[in-house]
Copies of this chain bind each other. A is one copy, B any other.
């Protein structure tokens, strides 16, 4: 029949994701991509169509959890809902490890494109609302378990925590992720929700 592909498109997409994540859309050239993916120009265009399509595919891959557990995963992974929220905030500020950049590709995409690109805007706003919904669920769970401080409205607090999470990712991108200041800031937010002081269990 025909010749088979010599590279793994999934692996290439993964590499492209990290490259766009690190350097942004405008800051990444097609030569950067072919160099880093180790494939030829025509292979890139034949497989992904265009730089823009590749960017969207990379963003989709990021949002579906290719760079680690999704927020919803994290928020469901602990018995204590407040503990899971703390986990979420703390994973947002992890420093870069290996070839995984600091910060968040989705936040970078939001800031770079604002609402100018509908395809991207649809993905980033969807990402925000999914995060808020997951946080809302976790807060309801916390309230049911009696963890949540009285007077905290779960809906409003979910939006607030989503915004805080975005802000933490901006600071992580700036390289401030591992500072003690940031850790105490997260602790401050958690104590406002009603969490007792946290003994680090890493």
Interface residues in chain A, defined as those with a beta carbon under 8 Å from any beta carbon in chain B: 22, 24, 26-27, 101-103, 107-108, 110-112, 114-115, 121, 124-125, 128, 132, 151-153, 155-157, 159-160, 162-168, 170-171, 173-176, 181-182, 184-189, 191-193
Contact = CB atoms under 8 A, between A and B. Distances in A.
Given A121-B174, A128-B174, A160 B156 contact: no
Contacts of A164: 160, 163-164, 167
B156 A187 contact: yes
14 contacts: A27-B112, A102-B114, A103-B111, A110-B174, A111-B112, A111-B173, A114-B173, A153-B184, A155-B184, A160-B186, A160-B188, A162-B167, A163-B185, A170-B170
Contacts of A121: 174-175
How many subunits of this chain does the assembly comprise?
2
Given A26-B27, A110-B170, A166-B171, 10 more contacts: A107-B111, A124-B174, A128-B171, A128-B176, A132-B181, A160-B185, A162-B167, A163-B167, A163-B171, A166-B170
A83 B180 CA distance: 28
A157 B110 contact: no
